[in-house]
Structure 1
Amino acid sequence: MARIRIDMPENYLFSTEIPIRISDINYGGHLGHDSVLSLIHEARVRFLKLYHYTELDIEGAGLVMSDNAIVYKAESFYGDSIQVDIALGDFNKYGCDIYYLLTNKKTAVEIAHAKTGVVFFDYEARKIRPIPEQFRTQVLKITG
């Protein structure tokens, strides 16, 4: 069976710490796969807030998730504190990929690698639109 592989970037733009809640734990006693998606969503919202954006308003455009992938590296448990590092890459006319590195803050063990593809969206017209130039310029200035 072919395995998903995510080529993680070397440099990250943003880092945040998120505690694992009891509701994030599945019947196997560890962090559930569905909760990983929720954790990266929370991290993305925090990242955007740093630039005074929301998922519905980035220079007048919203975001729509086009795809996502998660590669699990290790277990995480209730009470762990997860550091989520974010980078952006693979820009095209309408969107980009957002990369997430999830690491146990205490042990430095990598928990997961994740990627979400996003496109910019005009919710009023109900269609995709180009990346807002100010956002692209601001992010590329930081990423180099």
Structure 2
Amino acid sequence: MTTPFTADHTSRLTVRIGDINYGGHLGHDRLITLLHQARIELLHALGATETDCFGAGLIMRHLTCDYRGEAFLNDTLDIAMRVDNLRNAAYTLQYSVTSGDRPIAAAAAEMVAYDYQRHKIIALPPAFADALHRRRENHHDQ
């Protein structure tokens, strides 16, 4: 989670009053919620959702998070994300969270293609990799 990466998508979110904990800074649990919001925005940019990722649902199998700095009320967070380690049924989503030039957190989530009707892991549809490839090509051209 420490290697710099080229982002597939960056979401810009603001720390709200409900995100602040007793210590006067962004709560660890609220950071996870902000990562979720950013993931939804990445999927939307790809033309997908968590419940319909080109015909599959998505479920999180594993999440790690390194907290690197504090964020405060009204701070703007840039949450950069990159899909890595694309496999048959899963991928790793890398996150880098900054506020200006201050590192706030780095995280990685293992996302798995899931059939919520049958409650089982399934293959990640090829259309996901295709959409990701198109997005990377378009960003490279800009």
Alignment correspondent of 2:68: 73
CA contact (8 A) 2:46 2:132 kept: no
Superposed structure 1 runs of 4+ greater than 6 Å apart: none
Is it true that 1:28 corresponds to 2:28 in the alignment?
no
Is it true that 1:12 corresponds to 2:12 in the alignment?
no
Normalising by structure 1, report the TM-score: 0.89
Alignment correspondent of 1:112: 105
Q: Is the partner of 1:46 in helix, strand or coil?
A: helix
Question: Which one has a larger percent helix, Structure 1 or Structure 2?
Answer: 2
Is it true that 1:130 corresponds to 2:123 in the alignment?
yes
For residue 108 of structure 1, what is the amino acid of its counterpart? D
CA contact (8 A) 1:56 1:62 kept: yes
Deviation at 1:42, TM superposition (A): 0.1
Q: Is the partner of 2:128 in helix, strand or coil?
A: helix
| Structure 2 CA distance for partners of 1:7 and 1:91, relative to 1, 3 Å | farther
Whole-angstrom CA distance in 2 between matches of 1:7 and 1:123: 33
Where do 5+ consecutive residues of structure 2 fail to align? 138-142
CA contact (8 A) 2:94 2:108 kept: yes
Normalising by structure 2, report the TM-score: 0.90
CA contact (8 A) 1:25 1:31 kept: yes
Residue-by-residue CA offset, 1:59-112 (whole Å, 9 max, x unaligned): 1100000000110111100010101111010122110010111110xx321100
Identity %: 31
Alignment correspondent of 2:81: 86
Whole-angstrom CA distance in 2 between matches of 1:29 and 1:127: 41
Alignment correspondent of 1:58: 53
Deviation at 1:142, TM superposition (A): 4.3
Residue-by-residue CA offset, 1:100-128 (whole Å, 9 max, x unaligned): 11110xx3211000111110001122111
Where do 5+ consecutive residues of structure 1 fail to align? 1-5
